[in-house]
Structure 1
Amino acid sequence: MKLVFLLIALVPLVMVAAKSTPGRMAARYDNFAVYKVDIDTDEKMEELKKIHERVTVHILNELMGPGRSYYLIVGPLFRRALDRFLNFLEIVYEVVVDDLQKLLDDSAVGNDDQMEWENYHSLDTIYDWIDKECAAHDYLECGVIGKSYEGREIKSIKLSKRPGNKAIFLEGNIHAMEWISSATVTFLLNQLINSEDPEMQRLSEEYDWIVVPMVNPDGFVYTHEVERLWRKNRRPNGYSNTTGDCYGIDMNRNFGYHWGGAGWNIDEPCDHWFGGDEPNTEVEILSLQNFVNSFEDGYIRSYLAFHAYGQYVLLPYGHSNTEFPPNYDQMKRIAAAFSDAAADVYGSVFTYGASGLLNYVVSGAAKDWAYGVKNVPFTCTVELRDKGTYGFFLPSNQITEVGTEVTAGLKALVNKAAEEGIYN
């Protein structure tokens, strides 16, 4: 959800990459540092919003207000200037990463010959695994819900072992750089298909599972081949700046439910949070919506969108911090079950509640569309590990741990939702 704000001198680096041809060397971040800054007053917040006037940085979080920590990426030439800026304003900070490229290398694609969950994988490997599983199991119905702007398939999997079940929908990687999202969604799908755990097999018998693990294939491929810090899709959005044409829409700001009402820089076409000139403009989003619309009303009873990072279970609504769904208390009880069970595995604490209240106010998200338009009675965004140490660049050696704790949380969530009558 939170992502990279590209500014000034680093923009040419990224924009050159955006126009690159296949095979061109990807952008690198050798000796770039990641700073954690704590903002405790409105005055400091306003100064941070103007930081690009003095220092060249990437800002990893949407700038929403004081009382929060924010993460900045700075190149080696600008570290002294950033230190002076922060010290002058008496902003408390620490350097949490000394060499961003080393961290990126640690989370890069490893052995890509076959699908497993010790490494991140390319789109081709993920899709090959899906195809093989679909060919091996007659209870899987697999298809293509549409194609991306650049013509890549958006694949879906429906697991159904008996008629009359209600369905749970899992969605991944709407934001390109959040690799742990599709890794976790495919981990969960693998558990439902291949796990010998009796509880997972029961859940695969008693519920239908509809999975779209890769909503943003163009952006995902771009993060592998050109720019690891990319968030949006890859459609030219009709705007330009001094560096050239601007690309992409933040697709989790493009859904029509309360679109455009709130959010950091959602109306800035060359920023990574641009929600589009109108709602529902992106072919990937329209394909996802049409796919959901293809099922009869009342069939999909839970919709879970997986993102990084922060360890949250974010409930509707995102567009307000004073308006809440009619069954908000019920949804909080279900989210609490996920949080408690996930924490029992490795101690990872997931905070739960309305996203507009806990995280920040932003409009046009998938979970709000699923709740507000499709009337799915439990929807959420699960923000996966971690709380900022690695952020979007979680090392691959944590994939299995994330999958394991989320599997535990998912079991508890579904069982609590059933107890609450969500699947009636």
Structure 2
Amino acid sequence: MRLLLLLLAILPLAMAAPKSSATDRLAIRYDYFKVYSLFIENEQQLEELKEIYKDISVHFLNELAGPGHSYNIIVGPLLQKYVEGKLNELKIIFKVIVDDLQKLLDKSAVDKDSQMEWESYHTLDTIYDWVDKECAAHDYLECKVIGQSYEGRDIKSIRLSKREGNKAIFLEGNIHAMEWISSATVTFLLNELINSEDPEMQRLSEEYDWIVVPMVNPDGFVYTHEVERLWRKNRRPNGATNSSGLCYGIDMNRNFDYHWGGAGWNIDEPCDHWFGGHEPNTEIEILSLQSFVSSFEDGYIRSYMAFHAYGQYVLLPYGHSNTEFPPNYEQMKRIAAAFSDAASEPYGSAFTYGASGLLNYVVSGAAKDWAYGVKNIPFTCTVELRDKGTYGFFLPSNQITEVGVEVAAGLKGLVNKAAEEGIFD
């Protein structure tokens, strides 16, 4: 039975093989694939959902954290009737939130020849070309290649410093390949700091140094553009195999050496999306990022902000526990509240804030926890960007600018509150 279900799941992909048209972006297409939102009420339903994950080839977009949460899954056309029947049998409440995933993906089609702007998603080459041009145009920007990815692509950094003696804020993007809105938002913020005529944004660019790594996972990002839009990890073969062959990649936001491996769903399954590695600090991209952060003198970087999708959260340390909190947790909550209040002003977007292990799910080895627990940076967070599940990881490109505007507003509120709280002293 399971073999039949696997074949039924794979068949739509084979039938939807990519055309030769130059407009096709991906080798894998999702024509008529549906995205379902499931609400899991209790532990029994959660266990049944795990069995579905084991036995039926559907794509889970979220880690299974516990009951009382909604989870999104992608189901191919030949399996949809079976899955809906199974969910009804288990009395799991569900709804279809995307009728045809490929149509949604096509709304964010990438023009490979486009110049950098924030109405479209862009390729790695376009993003890096823009970074290089900005670096060449402004002497207060110090730009470095901090390392290479497993496949040999550059990992680039930009440091904006207009005045000696400033403290620094670190912005990190696209550690998860499929979260295109992450690097789009980080580059939007960098562009505002460089080119905006907004007096408040220019004041922030004068009074603070800004260190930006817009693309931590270039291999995975390129792979999402060329082969598999749903890819999350990096692209190093991890030594495991399954029925499809070699298993690739580590979830690099599970690979930092701070309470590594202590919690998280399927972080020990090498062929799964959330595999945290056989041990911490195995990935060259993560080692390059850590080495770069550590190259600055202690006390210089006062805030570390990692940008992800989705859910509209400001997630604070710790991730590995829902009962243990940082010594200055209340202070960090006040700063996160300032982000949330300010970010809601442009369009009414509500950001929930608090410890990630408490609000989201318990998971170990994240960048923000390493930055706080190992590097002693006093305010760290993961900002989960739009939306709350309507589009999820596939946010249409016509929302990029709005996301940038609301996050820039939130950033102003956050920095001003952090200064009031003495974070930059």
Measured against aligned partners, the alpha-carbon deviations of 1:18-43 in whole angstroms (never above 9, x if no partner) come to xxxxx996100000000111110111
Q: In the alignment, what sits opposite 1:4?
A: none
Please, which runs of 5 or more residues in structure 1 have no aligned partner? 1-6, 18-22
CA apart distance, 1:83: 1.1
Q: Counterpart of 2:44 in structure 1: which amino acid?
A: E
1:267-416 paired onto structure 2 within 5 Å: 267-416=268-417
Q: Counterpart of 1:135 in structure 2: which amino acid?
A: A
CA apart distance, 1:367: 0.2
In 2 relative to 1, CA 218–11 (structure 1 residues): closer, same or farther, beyond 3 Å?
Answer: farther
1:3-42 paired onto structure 2 within 5 Å: 8-9=6-7, 10=9, 26-42=27-43
CA contact (8 A) 1:34 1:72 kept: yes
Q: In the alignment, what sits opposite 2:19?
A: none
Q: In the alignment, what sits opposite 1:233?
A: 234
TM-score (normalised: structure 1): 0.95
Question: Counterpart of 1:76 in 2: which secondary structure?
Answer: coil
Q: In the alignment, what sits opposite 1:115?
A: 116
CA apart distance, 1:12: 9.1
Question: Counterpart of 1:77 in 2: which secondary structure?
Answer: coil
TM-score (normalised: structure 2): 0.95
Please state if 1:252 is matched with 2:253: yes
Measured against aligned partners, the alpha-carbon deviations of 1:281-305 in whole angstroms (never above 9, x if no partner) come to 1000000000001000000000000
CA contact (8 A) 1:112 1:121 kept: no
Q: In the alignment, what sits opposite 1:175?
A: 176
CA contact (8 A) 2:38 2:71 kept: yes
Q: Counterpart of 2:394 in structure 1: which amino acid?
A: F
CA apart distance, 1:113: 2.1
Measured against aligned partners, the alpha-carbon deviations of 1:181-209 in whole angstroms (never above 9, x if no partner) come to 00000000000000000000000000000
In structure 2, C-alpha distance between the alignment counterparts of 1:53 and 1:129, rounded to whole Å: 43
Q: In the alignment, what sits opposite 1:75?
A: 76
CA contact (8 A) 2:155 2:218 kept: yes
Q: In the alignment, what sits opposite 1:84?
A: 85
CA contact (8 A) 1:111 1:119 kept: no
CA contact (8 A) 2:335 2:417 kept: yes
Q: In the alignment, what sits opposite 1:148?
A: 149
In 2 relative to 1, CA 142–359 (structure 1 residues): closer, same or farther, beyond 3 Å?
Answer: same
Q: In the alignment, what sits opposite 1:57?
A: 58
CA contact (8 A) 2:112 2:123 kept: no
In structure 2, C-alpha distance between the alignment counterparts of 1:11 and 1:420, rounded to whole Å: 54
Per mean C-alpha deviation after superposition, the further-off stretch among 88-97 and 151-160 is 88-97
Q: Counterpart of 1:245 in structure 2: which amino acid?
A: L
CA apart distance, 1:57: 1.2
In 2 relative to 1, CA 190–102 (structure 1 residues): closer, same or farther, beyond 3 Å?
Answer: same
CA apart distance, 1:56: 3.0
In structure 1, C-alpha distance between the alignment counterparts of 2:246 and 2:139, rounded to whole Å: 46
Question: Counterpart of 1:170 in 2: which secondary structure?
Answer: strand
CA contact (8 A) 1:12 1:243 kept: no
In structure 2, C-alpha distance between the alignment counterparts of 1:92 and 1:150, rounded to whole Å: 43
Question: Counterpart of 2:36 in 1: which secondary structure?
Answer: strand
CA contact (8 A) 1:112 1:122 kept: no
Identity in percent: 80
Question: Counterpart of 1:34 in 2: which secondary structure?
Answer: strand
In 2 relative to 1, CA 147–53 (structure 1 residues): closer, same or farther, beyond 3 Å?
Answer: closer
Q: In the alignment, what sits opposite 1:133?
A: 134
Q: Compute the RMSD of aligned alpha carbons.
A: 1.7
Measured against aligned partners, the alpha-carbon deviations of 1:202-240 in whole angstroms (never above 9, x if no partner) come to 000000000000000000000000000000000000111
Measured against aligned partners, the alpha-carbon deviations of 1:220-276 in whole angstroms (never above 9, x if no partner) come to 000000000000000000111121110000000000000000001000000010000
Q: In the alignment, what sits opposite 1:3?
A: none
CA apart distance, 1:55: 3.7
CA apart distance, 1:90: 1.2
